[in-house]
Amino acid sequence: MTTEITYHSQPFPYVIIDDLYSEEELRLIWKDFNHVYPLLLPGDKTGSAKDNGVFQKKNKGIFINHEDNTILRLGGKTWSLLNTLKESLNPGEWWLKNIRTSDSKTLVSYYEDTDYYKAHSDCAEITALSWYYKEPKKYRGGDLKFTDYNIDVECKNNRCIIFPSMIVHEVSEIKMNKGDMDKKLGRWTISQFTWMDNNGPDEIVKNEKVTSVIEDLYPTPTYWSQVKDYPFINNEIDRAMGGVDFFDMSKRWGSSHSTTSDFNKEVNIIEELGLESIRKEIDNHVREYCAELEWEFREYWMESWFTRYKKGDYSDVHRHGDSDISGVYFYKTNGQDGDLFFLSPTAPLSIAKCYHQNGLKISHQPQEGKMILFPGWLQHGVNVNNTDNIRMSLAFNIRFI
């Protein structure tokens, strides 16, 4: 293919370069596109322009900042061709003077269905945009428009346009068929921004504000879900509970409630009573919890017991020792017979006025068929049952092997 350069001086100076890269160079660039595709960030994370606080672009992108990337190694070709063009132009052409390719930033962007970039200008001296897509083209739109001059530039594969960064421009909305989505078949753009001195701006887009966020360090991941077919599970438990003994825990723990274990030995009431349905449900939810934690599931050992709260009963604050995951399944409750509560592991936050709301306890209202999973070390308890209803739940601990 033969590279073609077209220079425009009116109404403002810009250059269009068609067939910028050779077939081999394109092959290497697409290799880089495939590499960065899973790393792309939302548009608001890559220097988006704003209008009254509203982000002006909807796409994905990533800034390239390592020299082993083909995109960066070949990026200088844009400026090399521009320097070639300069030799045939009036030496006084203001915007081509002293272009410094070492002072630049490179952004890779990707557009799919409904993506766009509304009118904006860039905080640089010179902007170079080059476009790429798999042929045959699988989308419509995505053309560049200089809104102040009503100039449209068609987005063609392997085409580059270079213009003064101050000129307002936009990208028209992309339209794609759903079957072509998420296959890297959209509009790829390499944006290069450069300056005419040694000190380029930290921001690429005008009016962009530095993003400030509050980050919750060391959050405590808990999990809850409504169990499917819980009436069937509760009926299975009803049939198995006849004759089961309960132990008064007031003397052992100082808590006023009863359990099916005195904890002098390890027990698994689920296994003893053959409660296969709830066992499968617990296993399914533990697997889902682990997946949300991005932790590879493995085999585990489990202990389990029932707890019973009559009127006036409660459970003092406690932990579940060295359990990896602890859990509770609400078997019988009227919803008003004692909330389960968790105490913040960062309780000292309550000392400072501005963090006071972060250092308090969080409660879960009991609901039949609801399951809650949490770290075994997290302090928790049960509020007093002030009703005439008998509240019963299944508690369990998981230790991974």
**163 and 273 housed in the same domain:** no
In a domain, 211, yes or no: no
User: Cβ neighbours of residue 159 under 8 Å, at least 6 residues apart?
Assistant: 16, 17, 18, 19, 20, 130, 131
In a domain, 304, yes or no: yes
**49 and 155 housed in the same domain:** yes
Tally of structural domains, the chain = 2
Side-chain-side CA neighbours of residue 252 (13 Å): 12
Side-chain-side CA neighbours of residue 328 (13 Å): 25
| pLDDT score for 99 | 58
| pLDDT score for 200 | 47
Range of the domain at 82: 4-195
Rounded Cα–Cα distance for residues 152 and 232 (Å): 65
Residue where one domain finishes, among candidates 179, 195, 211: 195
**142 and 256 housed in the same domain:** no
**230 and 176 housed in the same domain:** no
In a domain, 201, yes or no: no
In a domain, 55, yes or no: yes
**333 and 184 housed in the same domain:** no
**167 and 234 housed in the same domain:** no
In a domain, 214, yes or no: no
Low-confidence ranges of the chain (pLDDT < 70): 66-69, 79, 82-103, 196-213, 249-255, 262-264, 356-359
85-93 LR contacts (CB < 8 Å, sep 24+):
85/5, 85/7, 85/15, 89/7, 93/13
Residue-wise pLDDT for 166-219, tens only, equals 899 999 999 999 999 999 999 999 999 887 554 544 555 554 444 566 777 888
Rounded Cα–Cα distance for residues 119 and 170 (Å): 4
**182 and 239 housed in the same domain:** no
**51 and 106 housed in the same domain:** yes
In a domain, 132, yes or no: yes
Residue-wise pLDDT for 266-307, tens only, equals 789 999 999 999 999 999 999 999 999 989 999 999 999 999
pTM: 0.51
Side-chain-side CA neighbours of residue 260 (13 Å): 21
**156 and 233 housed in the same domain:** no
Q: What is the DSSP letter of 135?
A: S
In a domain, 247, yes or no: yes
**177 and 250 housed in the same domain:** no
**57 and 20 housed in the same domain:** yes
In a domain, 205, yes or no: no
Question: What are the beta bridge partners of residue 375?
Answer: 325
